[in-house]
Amino acid sequence: MLQSEALDILKTGANVFLTGEPGSGKTHVTNAYVRYLKQAKIDVAVTASTGIAATHLGGMTVHSWSGIGISKNLSNWDIDRIASNERVAKRIDRTRVLVIDEISMLDGAILGNVDRVCREVKRRDEPFGGMQVLFVGDFFQLPPVSRPGEPLAQFAFESQAWAEVSPFVCYLEEHYRQEDQTLLSILSALRNNAITDAHCTQLSTRCIADPTRLSNDTPKLYPHTVDVDRINSAELARIPGEPVRHDMTYSGRAALAEQLKRGCLSPEQLLLKKGASVMFTKNSITGAFVNGTLGVVVDFDDDTQYPIVQTRGGRTILAEPASWSLEEHGRVLAQISQVPLRLAWAITIHKSQGMSLDYAYVDLEHAFVEGQGYVALSRVRTMEGLYLSGWNQTALTINVHVLEYDHALRQRSQQTRDAFGTINPEEFSRMQNNFVVACGGQLSEEPKKKPVVPLVGRAQKAYAVDRIRKEYPNAYRAWSKADDALLTDQYTAGSDIEDISTAFGRRKCAIRSRLVKLGLIEAPDAE
């Protein structure tokens, strides 16, 4: 399915699972829909399964939004207590559309609790209290995990809440990150649990025994946080001199600001030196950099001490503080500010999710959960940019339930496309407008028509010429000698005036007049 098709379906108010391979545009479609809703004055809650993903979206975790916290086992009394919380109840009651990103990492039991709270607050026995729900994610990526002592986590699609929502599936099929056919072939094989010896041979060509041979600013992806912290600290210490320190600032509700801090890829205390390998952690509103842009600190501003970064593309950027905020119904509840950088000698595979990298060194020998290998390999744009320590069996393993479900998703996406494809444009537009009205939103105003001003003299003639040139682009233009020669050749060769008119982009009467002037035909008798 194309991005535009998915966006049109979302605008009808249908519950949707938006999925697709990494780099297919899931975030782009989500952001476009959220902008559409805000323009229509429809209250939308943008949430995610993790703090990192929520920070990218400018929202909060679904756990915080719904007031359920991290507990899986909630009694009816717990649900009633949460729904009685004035702040939570007001938030949910006003919401008309609920977005949950990175749905692959959300435990099905948690999704069920969100559903129960929404029904209780809205006093409607419909899935999520009758709100439109948009699930976004890719189940081939990192799965939900269980805390020690908790029951085994289940995928969101295995929950009763998911079954009752029964979302339409929009499976995006275009690729915007990778164009390398070899890498695409390997990723496709992973998604189909069809890795062959040939694929392994291709991966083995990207293995290097000594990562120190690589450029020092090549980011290294590791499964474990301890390896990331160790490498970044050691590399920074190797650079002589004292580091320049930038502290994160925050405002708003302390608990929500703390949530933003945990989800932000930039650390609370950022230590940098000239020569430090860094990565931008946020998309620039001007397009100067994106989340994942790599570079090196080449200097610091004399007045502010903000780092000056030279990217691999050769651009020099003053990295000024950026803000991450948590908004609700157009009001900022909490906000943090920090220089949008992090040390980039190493990063965890988990925190790399959502990034696009030109090159990276990836440790898959210590992968410990299904999906880590797929996430890591899909971060890189080309095989030439991929360097591997090696891999273990877990790295190339796909959950069998995800594999089976993916085949069904592709079929359901085609069914969705077929079903909505039978609706004529007028009916489609009516459905979209009805949804806006049902949500209490505002329909976009029709552009005002300019008043018709009578034209006289030259203005009238110019208007007439412009209108005629929409069909005949060369009308009223001067004839050249070349035009005359070509016209003569075509007419004497037997072409009729209608064909010549089309070829020259001039009206038939103009062709006849020119033929008369050239002496090729006689002028018609005047009546």
In which order are the strands placed within the sheet that holds 322-328? 249-252, 331-338, 322-328
What is the per-residue pLDDT for 369? Answer: 82
pLDDT < 50 positions in the chain:
446-461, 525-527
Quote the pLDDT of residue 492.
79
Q: Residue 9: helix, strand or coil by DSSP?
A: helix
Task: Please report the pLDDT score of residue 447 as a whole number.
Answer: 47
Instruction: Please tell me the distance from the alpha carbon of residue 102 to that of residue 47, in angstroms, as a whole number.
Output: 9
- pTM of the predicted structure, to 2 decimals: 0.66
- Residue 52: per-residue pLDDT: 58
Spatial separation of the C-alpha atoms in residues 7 and 28, rounded to whole Å:
10
User: Residue 310 and residue 299: Cα distance in Å, rounded?
Assistant: 9
- Which helix or strand (DSSP H or E) is residue 297 part of? strand 294-300
Predicted confidence at residue 57, as pLDDT, reads 60
pLDDT tens digits for range 169-186: 999 987 666 567 888 888
| Tokens representing residue 51 in the block | 């703090």
**Contact partners, residue 18, CB within 8 Å, separation at least 6:** 6, 10, 26, 29, 30, 134, 135, 136, 137, 170, 172
pLDDT at 458: 46
| Backbone phi, psi, residue 424, to 5° | -75, 160
